[in-house]
């Protein structure tokens, strides 16, 4: 096709290198009738407070249309920022934050994109966990930085390995090109693990010693089943060292597209300029609705039933894994919260290759390779337990067993 060739010749380096996300492509199959999907991280829509939001939306449009339907400040709705300050204090015990420390974004993905834009060049280093959240990999990737990945252990990033890498960078005279270390310390996506308090403290010490920022991405911290969550890195080290990302996508509803960057005022100033160029401002309607919801309801009380359901689903999935996948040599962690279980299979299973059989058997997961910077061969997979009902979780894991057996037999 002529047009395709013309276009290819006109594309930028970014344009040429953009790839379609595996998850995106998988989600198309996952809606096949009869399919059971452990793929996406989309919350159960029945947990959305739809009636409350419907009443609030009507009121906001009738009474606050001058704000809600107009352009709003790039930084976000001042009312929602004030609610955010209260919420951050309740969730993390973080104090001393004011409106200048906050940028409201279109979901966390825009926060990641903006962080990547303002910090990363093609001679920059960025350090990620292995595996890491693929939305972050994608967002940082388009700035073509040098990725360094550090293995993730049961209690978070391998800080000894991290220190070794930092030392090497320092010896090479490259340490000043390291911009930040990106971590999801609590109920990790995809790995489900939580970084210990001790490792959080080591990470902060290293950030002081080697002068880098820590990007602490915490979409799941409020979704704790039974674990005491260690202090947030931001709470311990403050905005001098830490950029904290959060979102309402998992505790309220993704469709409102509200994420937040909490950081030093000087960083926020730059993120605001970047957002201005990216989309001028977010929707005042969505932000004002969210602000009014937070004023009227206790969102942390409100999600407790949801968390109970997620906990039961986690337990159901763990039991099914024990019954169906343990005999085949599978290993996994038991996450204390969040949405994901990371299942490690014996070496001979290439979970990417195995997808074809999974499609036939109508069960979906995300292959581990999606969460690796270089997309290398991987014998792990991410299972999300939040969306399917409990009986389907059991049936889906049983189907997974059949997929493994058939893959091995081929």
Contacts to a second copy from residues 141-170, by CB under 8 A: 141-143
Buried b (16+ CB within 10 A) or exposed e, 137-170: bbbbbbbebebbbbebbeebbbbeebbebbeebe
Q: Is 179 helix (H, G, I), strand (E, B) or coil?
A: strand
Measured over the CA atoms of residue 276, residue 214, residue 40 and residue 314, the dihedral's sign is negative
> Binding to a second copy by residue 34, rule CB under 8 A?
no
Size of the site for a second copy (CB under 8 A): 92
Q: Sign (positive/negative) of CA torsion 92, 94, 99, 103?
A: negative
Check binding of 113 to a second copy (CB under 8 A).
yes
Site residues for a second copy, 205-234, by CB under 8 A, read: 211-213
> Is residue 324 close enough to count as binding a second copy by CB under 8 A?
no
- Find the shortest distance in angstroms from Cβ 259 to a second copy: 9
Among 107, 219, 230, 337, contact with a second copy (rule: CB under 8 A): 107
- From the number of C-beta atoms within 10 Å of its C-beta (0-12, 13-18, 19+), residue 298 rates as exposed
Footprint of a second copy on 330-359 (CB under 8 A)? none
Cβ proximity to a second copy: between 11 and 326 the closer is: 11
Part of the chain binding a second copy (CB under 8 A), chosen from 196-204, 255-263, 325-333, 347-355: 255-263
State the nearest-atom distance from the C-beta of 176 to a second copy, in Å.
7
**Residue 354: its H or E element:** none
Regarding 295 and contact with a second copy (CB under 8 A), the answer is: no
The residue among 20 and 374 lying less far from a second copy, judged by its C-beta, is 20
How would you classify residue 361: left for phi > 0, otherwise alpha for psi between -120 and 50, otherwise beta? Answer: alpha
Q: Is 280 in the site for a second copy (CB under 8 A)?
A: yes
Q: Does 13 bind a second copy (CB under 8 A)?
A: yes
Q: Indicate which single residue of 131, 156, 190, 239 sits in contact with a second copy (rule: CB under 8 A).
A: 239
Smaller CB separation from a second copy, 58 or 304: 58
Q: How far is the CB of 117 from a second copy (least distance, A)?
A: 5
Does 257 engage in binding with a second copy (CB under 8 A)? yes
| Site for a second copy contains 21 (CB under 8 A) | yes
Which of 285, 299, 325, 370 lies at the binding interface for a second copy (CB under 8 A)?
285
Among 85, 139, 233, 242, binds a second copy (CB under 8 A): 139
Handedness of CA 321, 323, 325, 327 (dihedral sign): positive
In the complex, minimum distance from the CB of residue 233 to a second copy, in angstroms, rounded to a whole number: 17
* Shortest reach from residue 174's CB to a second copy, in Å: 14
Are 398 and 322 within 8 A, CB to CB? no
- Asked if 369 and 43 touch (Cβ cutoff 8 Å), the reply is no
Q: Helix 265-279 vs helix 107-119: angle between axes, to the nearest 10 degrees?
A: 110
Does residue number 201 form part of the binding site for a second copy (CB under 8 A)?
A: no
Stretch that binds a second copy, among 186-194, 214-222, 272-280, 342-350 (CB under 8 A): 272-280
Q: Which of residues 50-89 bind a second copy (CB under 8 A)?
A: 50-51, 53-55, 57-59, 61-62, 65-72, 74
Cis peptide before 363 (omega within 30 of 0): no
Q: Which is nearer to a second copy, 201 or 254 (CB)?
A: 254
Contacts of 197 (CB under 8 A, 6+ apart): 230, 231
| Member of 135, 190, 230, 368 binding a second copy (CB under 8 A) | 135
Give the CA count within 13 Å in the CB-facing half-sphere of 111.
Answer: 29
- Binding flag, residue 240, a second copy (CB under 8 A): yes
Report if residue 117 touches a second copy, rule: CB under 8 A: yes
| Edge-to-edge strand ranges of the sheet holding 242-247 | 102-105, 259-262, 242-247, 213-217, 178-183, 125-130, 146-153, 156-157
Which of 26, 267, 325, 381 contacts a second copy by CB under 8 A? 267
DSSP E strands in 99-142: the ranges are: 102-105, 125-130
Taking each helix axis as running N to C, give the angle between helix 107-119 and helix 134-141, from 0 to 180 degrees, rounded to the nearest 10: 40
């Amino acid at each position: 096709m002529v047009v395709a060739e013309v276009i290819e010749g006109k594309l930028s380096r970014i344009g040429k290198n953009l790839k379609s996300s595996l998850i995106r492509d998988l989600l198309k199959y996952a809606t096949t009738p009869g399919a059971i999907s452990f793929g996406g991280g989309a919350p159960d829509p029945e947990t959305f407070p739809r009636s409350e939001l419907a009443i609030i939306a009507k009121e906001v449009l009738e009474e606050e249309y001058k704000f809600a339907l107009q352009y709003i400040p790039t930084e976000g709705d001042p009312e929602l920022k004030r609610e955010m300050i209260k919420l951050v204090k309740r969730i993390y015990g973080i104090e001393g934050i004011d409106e200048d420390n906050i940028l409201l974004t279109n979901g966390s993905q825009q926060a990641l994109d903006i962080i990547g834009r303002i910090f990363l060049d093609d001679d920059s280093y960025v350090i990620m966990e292995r595996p890491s959240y693929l939305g972050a990999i994608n967002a940082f990737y388009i700035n073509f930085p040098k990725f360094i990945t550090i293995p993730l252990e049961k209690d978070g990033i391998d800080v000894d390995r991290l220190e070794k890498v930092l030392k090497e960078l320092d010896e090479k005279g490259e340490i000043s090109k390291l911009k930040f270390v990106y971590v999801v310390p609590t109920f990790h996506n995809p790995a489900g693990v939580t970084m210990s308090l001790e490792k959080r403290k080591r990470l902060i010490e290293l950030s002081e010693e080697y002068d880098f920022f820590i990007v602490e991405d915490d979409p799941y911290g409020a979704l704790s089943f039974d674990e005491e969550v260690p202090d947030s890195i931001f709470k311990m080290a403050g905005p001098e060292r830490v950029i904290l990302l959060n979102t309402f996508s998992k505790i309220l509803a993704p469709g409102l597209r509200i994420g937040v960057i909490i950081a030093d005022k000087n960083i926020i100033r730059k993120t605001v300029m970047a957002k201005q160029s990216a989309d001028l401002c977010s929707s005042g309607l969505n932000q004002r609705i969210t602000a009014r919801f937070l004023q009227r309801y206790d969102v942390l009380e409100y999600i407790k039933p949801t968390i109970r359901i997620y906990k039961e689903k986690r337990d159901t999935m763990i039991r099914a894994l024990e019954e169906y996948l343990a005999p085949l040599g599978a290993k996994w962690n038991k996450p204390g919260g969040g949405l994901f279980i990371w299942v490690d299979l014996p070496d001979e299973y290439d979970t990417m290759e195995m997808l074809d059989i999974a499609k036939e058997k109508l069960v979906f997961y995300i292959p581990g390779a999606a969460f690796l910077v270089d997309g290398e061969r991987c014998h792990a997979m991410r299972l999300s337990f939040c969306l399917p009902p409990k009986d389907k979780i059991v049936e889906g894991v049983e189907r997974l067993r059949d997929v493994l057996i058939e893959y091995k037999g081929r």
